[in-house]
Amino acid sequence: MPRTPHVRTPHVRAAHHLRTVPHALRPLLNWRSLRWKIAALVAVASCAVALAIGLLVHHSTLERSLHEDRERALTALTAAVADHRRTGTQASVTPLAELPDALARQVTATGRGTLYDDSDPTVPWEWAATRVDGQVLAVRVDAGTDLRSRQALDRHMRLASLAALAVVVPLAALAAELPNRRLRRVAGTARRIAAGDLEARTRAGGPGGDEITEIAATVDSMADSLRDRLRSEQRFTADVAHELRTPLMGLVTAAELLPESEPTELVRDRVRVLRALVEDLLEISRLDAGAEHSEPRPVALAEAVAESLDRAGLTARLSVTGAPVAETDPRRLDRIVANLVGNAHRHGGAPVDVTVGATRIEVRDHGPGFPAQLLARGPQRFFTGASERGGGHGLGLTIALGQAQVIGATLTFANAPDGGARAVLHLPPAGAGRAADGPGRAQPGPGQDHGAPGDGRTGRGARTGGGARTGRGARTGGGGGRH
């Protein structure tokens, strides 16, 4: 049977990494969570606001500083012109060629001008010049003090922005935690409902409220509707099965009174099939109603499985490791084993192997294996899967799963790597107590752990080296269809 190569995508790798982290820390380390998206959005918005404010403050401060430096330079120039006219001093007389080029062009064109000269970034100057009596008077004032003040202000703005981010982003993450926690609660409730817990509710709905409250109320309403519909279907199934019992018993009696012939045997065979179907429906209805209760006691698993195969008339290669004993309900264990082995015979391929370990019983066939839908969702009544696995009603595995839940066991389904279907019953350890009543869902297994092979067992309690058990017919013990 060809195997599809398994490729682990980056998303799968990330999910696997999260599974290795303690459960309480997973929301904190999930960078795709709503919490971190909101925090990132707040951080980006805060950075944008801080940048805009910083640019506005820097531009405003620069304009004010340049204006003040220009006024100081013009004041100094006015004083120099007055001193030149009063005393004739030449201290401020500057040849035009010694002025900065931009200032010289202004003086040549208009007779006066000002210039902020930052050709030396460490010591900027503010120039002012004018033409007086054919001479150029020029002064310059130191603008370094204002430059250093602006640089200090820019540093303070950056530090304040970083401090604001350090406060705002964690606060945003904490603020996002409340809706995030509510959403996780709704998601957890939805997962419980999908797993079969139809009594799970978010209890977060109510009149008014925000969008999360509306979602929670919708999930609760959906669960109520789903539970009511399922209970209605279960009641209908139970009522139909119960009402069919009386006419069915009459049909069985009438079939037994028919004269022996080939058509009579055909009728009796169909009546037996119909009777088994009605009994299966009644059993499922009892499981759905929670009317089944376990009566555990110490059970030698090897002998119990061997006797179950004998009673059902089934053929299987039985391997036992050690002398396993479990505390379980032998009648329900018999039903589970008979259904699993019968299902393997009906829908799988020979040979059928049954491996018994300390607290596990594995049934494996060599047929086409379970379909993907069964592995993902578990057995479903009246769904038999692909046509290559034959017909059936899909009740056998459903009953086996329900009985496993009653005795507190776990029933997993998987496909073996080299082909064939595997059903593994994991029994609770001795003294684990009784499990909650009612059927549950299957858990898909990895399909790789086959258990240690032991010695074979044939007949009632007799051990042989790898022998097979042979039955008395083809009866499947209510096996039902494989999905």
Please say if the pLDDT value at position 354 is more than 90.
yes
Structure tokens at 311: 């009673």
Query: Which of 289, 307, 327 is the last residue before a domain boundary?
Result: 289
**More confidently predicted of 395 and 330:** 330
Cα–chain center distance at 117:
64
| Mean pLDDT within 417-428 | 91
pLDDT at 3: 40
Mark which of 261, 289, 317 sits at the end of a domain: 289
196 compared with 416, residue with greater pLDDT: 416
- Same domain for 457 and 312: yes
Query: For residue 28, what pLDDT is reported?
Result: 56
Query: Do 112 and 129 meet the contact criterion of CB atoms below 8 Å apart?
Result: yes
Residue 188 shares a structural domain with residue 216 = no
Confidence of residue 341 (pLDDT cuts 50, 70, 90): very high
Q: How confident is the model at residue 304 (pLDDT cuts 50, 70, 90)?
A: very high
- pLDDT at position 382: 67
Domain assignment present for 459:
yes
pLDDT at 346: 87
**Same domain (yes/no): 247, 161:** no
Buried/exposed code over 389-418 (b: 16+ C-beta within 10 A; e: otherwise)? beebbbbbbbbbbbbbbbbbbbbbbbbbee
Name, in order, each residue with C-beta under 8 angstroms of 404's C-beta and a sequence gap of 6 or more: 336, 410, 411, 425
Per-residue pLDDT reduced to its tens digit, 45-86 = 988 998 899 899 888 888 888 888 889 888 888 888 888 888
In the sheet with 112-117, reading across from the earlier edge strand, the strands are: 112-117, 125-132, 135-142
Domain presence at residue 20: no
pLDDT of residue 384: 60
Please tell me the predicted confidence (pLDDT) of residue 34: 74
Closest CA to 341 of 312, 319, 370: 312
Q: How far apart are CA 375 and CA 363, in angstroms?
A: 16
Q: Residue 112 — pLDDT band, cuts 50, 70, 90?
A: confident
pTM confidence score: 0.50
Q: Mean pLDDT lowest for which of 154-163, 180-189, 434-443? A: 434-443
Query: In this structure, what CATH number is given to the domain that contains residue 347?
Result: 3.30.565.10
- CB-count burial class (<10 Å; 0-12, 13-18, 19+) for 54: middle
- Same domain, yes or no, for 385 and 305? yes
pLDDT band at residue 458 using 50, 70 and 90 as cut-offs: very low
Mean pLDDT along residues 90-110:
80
Does residue 365 share a domain with residue 235?
no
Residue 198 has a CB neighbour count (10 Å cut-off) of 16
Q: Is residue 199 part of a domain?
A: no
Could you report how far apart the first and last alpha carbons of the chain are, in Å?
A: 19
Contact 346, 445 (CB under 8 A): no
Q: Are residues 261 and 308 in the same domain?
A: no
Averaged pLDDT for residues 347-373: 90
Q: Does residue 206 form part of some domain?
A: no
Same domain, 97 and 227: no
Contacts of 142 (CB under 8 A, 6+ apart): 123, 125
Q: Which helix (H) or strand (E) holds 349?
A: none
Sheet holding 462-464, edge to edge: 443-444, 410-415, 421-426, 360-364, 353-356, 317-320, 455-458, 462-464
Q: What percentage of the chain carries pLDDT values higher than 90?
A: 14
Which string of b and e fits 235-261 if b means at least 16 CB within 10 Å?
A: eebbeebeebeeebeebeeebeeeeee
Per-residue pLDDT, 391: 54
pLDDT, one tens digit per residue, over 138-153 is 888 888 888 888 889 8
| 176/42 same-domain check | yes
> Does residue 186 contact residue 219 with C-beta atoms inside 8 Å?
yes
Same domain membership, residue 283 and residue 305: no
Dihedral sign from CA coordinates of 64, 65, 66, 71: positive
* Residues 483, 471: Cα–Cα separation, whole Å: 25
Last residue of some domain: 255, 289, 323?
289
SS3 content of the chain, % helix, strand, coil (to 5): 55, 15, 30
Same domain flag for 106 and 151: yes
Show the tokens assigned to 121. Answer: 């970034």
With respect to residue 475, please indicate whether it lies within any of the assigned structural domains. no
**456 domain-assigned:** yes
Residue 26 has pLDDT above 80, yes or no: no
Total domain count, the chain: 3
Is 125 found in the same domain as 99? yes
Q: How confident is the model at residue 410 (pLDDT cuts 50, 70, 90)?
A: very high
Q: Which domain holds residue 178?
A: 26-194
pLDDT tens-digit series, residues 231-274 = 887 788 777 777 877 888 888 888 888 888 888 888 888 888 88
- What confidence tier does 300 reach under pLDDT thresholds 50, 70, 90? very high
Q: How would residue 22 be classed by pLDDT, with cut points 50, 70 and 90?
A: low
DSSP string, 96-159: GGGS-HHHHHHHHHHSEEEEEE-SSTTS-EEEEEEEETTEEEEEEEE-HHHHHHHHHHHHHHHH
Is 474 within the bounds of a domain? Answer: no
Q: Is there a single domain that holds both residue 414 and residue 278? A: no
**Segment (H or E) for 88:** none
Nearest to 200 by CA among 222, 182, 179: 222
pLDDT tens per residue across span 210-224: 788 888 888 888 999
Question: Can you tell me the distance from the alpha carbon of 123 to that of 148, in angstroms, rounded to the nearest whole number?
Answer: 10
User: Which three-class secondary structure state does DSSP give residue 43?
Assistant: helix
CATH of the domain at 273: 1.10.287.130
Whether residue 473 lies inside any domain: the answer is no
Q: Determine the pLDDT at residue 448.
A: 35
